[in-house]
A and B are shown apart, each in its own frame.
Chain A
Amino acid sequence: MFELIQIIVIYTFIMGSLYLLISLGFSVVCGVLRIFHLGYGLIFVVAVYATWMLMKEFGLGLVPAIAGMFVIQCVFTLGVIYYPIVRKYSEREEILLTALLLVALLVEEAANYKYPALAGLYIPTTIIPGALKIGATTISHQMLIAAGIAMLVTVLFVIYLLKTRWGMVMRAMSQDINAAQLMGADVGRTYAFAMILSIIPPTLAILVMAPFWSTDPKLGWPLLEIAILVSVLGGLGNIKGTLLASYIVGFVVAVVGNLIDPRLTTLAMLIVVVIVLVFKPEGIGRSESLW
């Protein structure tokens, strides 16, 4: 019994942290821009395939390739997602959401065309190989590092939001966009910056997960699904709620995966989300308020 509890606690921490890293950027976009970023999955695809392209086609080492990939991510986010679509169609969500989905599909197909899924790819981001035995369970070092990075990134995000002037502007905009504008907040620039910020957690997530996660052009959809479930449960765009929701979902996954059937974890996540939505439609946190 003690061993089982130990396994569930460890997996809750690991999976919860991974889910936090996956969904943090999604929450930031929801909270600041008040839009639903259905193209969020493409961040993962661009992260993997841009790194792979820079390594394979340009012969760059891992670190320069990752640096180049971040530049590509920023240019793509601003040049393709934010300015032509999000900024222009933020008031017409039916077009915005469909266009974001289309861009995600476009990126997926482009990645599949250049690097077909069957050919495979490998991003050597394993930091410490091997595994650690904790009681009855064995966890790979990479998963522990991923969990650690998730905690670190979240702490940095929270510090940024609570202690810096730009963070304060973002919080103000998430609470009342009109009042923030009246107080002199530069809405356009803050939105653009929030979009850039939102690519950091998912990019880091897929880089550290790459050694133990399936990487193909379709990898964005299941990760988008996780981000959606966690963000909805946490209250769209609320970082506190997302933090709590990640570990709740992690707990559900750990319990269902270890006690019932590992294949039923996503279904269990959805049931929890639907139950919470029925009784608390705005989610755990204060919906559409960043903190």
Chain B
Amino acid sequence: MVKVKLEHKRGRLVLHIGDLKLECTIEPRRWRNPLLAVAVLVLLPPLFFHRPDILTLLTTANIYACVAIPVAWQMIGIGRMNFGPQIFIGIGGFAAALLSIHLGLGPLQSLPLVIIIGLISGFILSPLTIVAKGLYYSIITLVLPLVFMQLTYVYSNIFGGEYGLSGVQQLISLGSMKLNFLVTFYLSLLMMLVFMFVVNSIFRSRMGLFAAAINDDEDVANALGLNVNWWKIVCYTITSMMVSLTGWFIAYNVGGFSGETYLPLSFMLKILLIVMIGGRGEIYGTLIGAYFVSFLETGLRAAFGSISHVLFPLILLILLLTLREGLYGLYSKHRYREYYPTVRVRKR
């Protein structure tokens, strides 16, 4: 008979199952605000059931966050700034679209294949994190998506050129457009929360400690016995797969995929700004950044029309230069922090 015992110990719940001991922090400051944020995100959207535009905006914010969360982890985990994470949105998106169009695979059928494609392509490109040092890594990652975009033009018979691919199966079809929008939002929210939970758990685990060590000083981490190259490859491969999954979601949600939309520098810049303005590598900051950037872009467009395209980068530039620790830094200004990651470019 396995002995099971639950006890409250110094702000933690400790579950004993035989010899196994599982701990969970119940300190309110750790979970109260995230739980409130999740509650708002879950409960608020039904109020906008008759406003598909707002639901689409919220879905877009979740999609941005789904890219920004793994990118933030990657920046910490390999200690460098990736200027081209959107290449994996392209890989995931085109893979899903091609699988749907040519093999008739639905979202759930193509999901494992896209995960495998994301892992393989991430693994193939992962040596870049070792070969390309410091600034060169940023340069190469900057150029890769642009080359991929040109390939989509060259092989327009496969990738659909500037117009992209269309005719991908819908993510969901519930008979009502409004219901589709609402459920799509919840699916995007679920994906974003899973990403956040996974990355947050990793940041708090031993693997997160390795990531922090690599981020702080690769040489010291290496000298302390950490297999830096291995952990960088692991981090790059998994995060690439996560970004590919976002591409998969976009393809089925939009019913098509175009490299022209997701591969240019302007889209990458949006993701980079979400990470930077959100909170410079802070995992909760990416969520704040994603919602802020989405609402700002749409709000400006609604209020100012075509000049919003000029105002949008202008406001983001001002925020980038004035908010030292991003929007999340404003929230966590007076809180004790055990570790603050420094996102830097020029590391050896």
- Residues of A at the B interface (CB closer than 8 Å) are 36, 38, 84-85, 89, 92-95, 97-99, 101-103, 105-106, 109-110, 112-113, 221-222, 225, 228-229, 232, 236, 261, 263-264, 266-267, 270, 273-274, 277-278, 281
Contact = CB atoms under 8 A, between A and B. Distances in A.
B309 A102 contact: no
Q: Do most interface residues of chain B lie in helix, strand or loop, or is the interface mixed?
A: helix
Contacts of B314: 106
Given A93-B344, A93-B346, A95-B276, A267 B150 contact: yes
B83 A225 contact: no
A236 B139 CA distance: 11
Contacts of B317: 99, 102-103, 106
Contacts of B269: 98, 101-102, 105
Which residue, of A106, A222, A267, A281, has the highest number of chain B Cβ atoms within 10 A? Answer: A106
> Which A-B residue pairs are the 7 nearest by beta carbons?
A93-B345, A263-B154, A109-B309, A106-B313, A102-B317, A105-B313, A109-B310
B307 interface: yes
Interface stretch (B111-119, B130-138, B170-178, B245-253): B130-138
Contacts of B312: 109
A81 to B, nearest CB: 12
Which residue, of A102, A221, A281, has the highest number of chain B Cβ atoms within 10 A? Answer: A102
A266 B142 contact: no
Contact of B142 (A113, A228, A261, A264): A228
B343 interface: yes
Contacts, number: 105
Q: Do most interface residues of chain A lie in helix, strand or loop, or is the interface mixed?
A: helix
B303 to A, nearest CB: 15
Given A110-B310, A278-B131, A281-B136, A105 B320 contact: no
Given A270-B147, A281-B133, A112 B139 contact: no
A113 B307 contact: yes
B163 interface: no
B272 interface: yes
Contacts of B310: 106, 109-110, 113
A145 B10 CA distance: 79
Interface residues of B, number: 42
B140 A274 contact: yes
B276 A94 contact: yes
Nearest to A220: B265
A102 B154 contact: no
A98 B273 contact: yes
A97 B139 contact: no
B186 interface: no
Nearest to B264: A221
Contact of B273 (A36, A102, A264, A267): A102
Which residue, of A101, A221, A263, has the highest number of chain B Cβ atoms within 10 A? Answer: A101
Given A105-B313, A232-B139, A277-B136, A94 B154 contact: no
Contacts of A102: 269, 273, 313, 316-317, 320
A277 B140 contact: yes
Contacts of B272: 98, 101
Contacts of A267: 147, 150-151, 154
A113 B265 contact: no
Nearest to B307: A113
Contacts of B316: 102
B143 interface: yes
B81 A97 contact: yes
Which residue, of A89, A92, A277, has the highest number of chain B Cβ atoms within 10 A? Answer: A277
Contact of B344 (A94, A103, A264, A278): A94
B33 interface: no
Contacts of B142: 38, 228
B153 A105 contact: no
A18 to B, nearest CB: 18
B157 interface: no
A97 B313 CA distance: 14
Contacts of A270: 143-144, 147
B168 to A, nearest CB: 25
Contacts of A222: 146
A70 B217 CA distance: 44
A261 B147 CA distance: 15
Given A98-B269, A112-B309, 19 more contacts: A36-B135, A38-B142, A85-B321, A89-B321, A93-B81, A98-B320, A99-B317, A101-B269, A102-B313, A103-B317, A105-B265, A106-B314, A109-B310, A113-B309, A263-B153, A266-B147, A267-B147, A277-B136, A281-B136
A222 B142 CA distance: 12
Contacts of B344: 92-94
A196 B200 CA distance: 46
Contacts of A98: 269, 272-273, 276, 320
Interface in B220-276: 264-266, 269, 272-273, 276
A218 to B, nearest CB: 9
A132 B150 CA distance: 31
Contact of B83 (A97, A109, A110, A261): A97
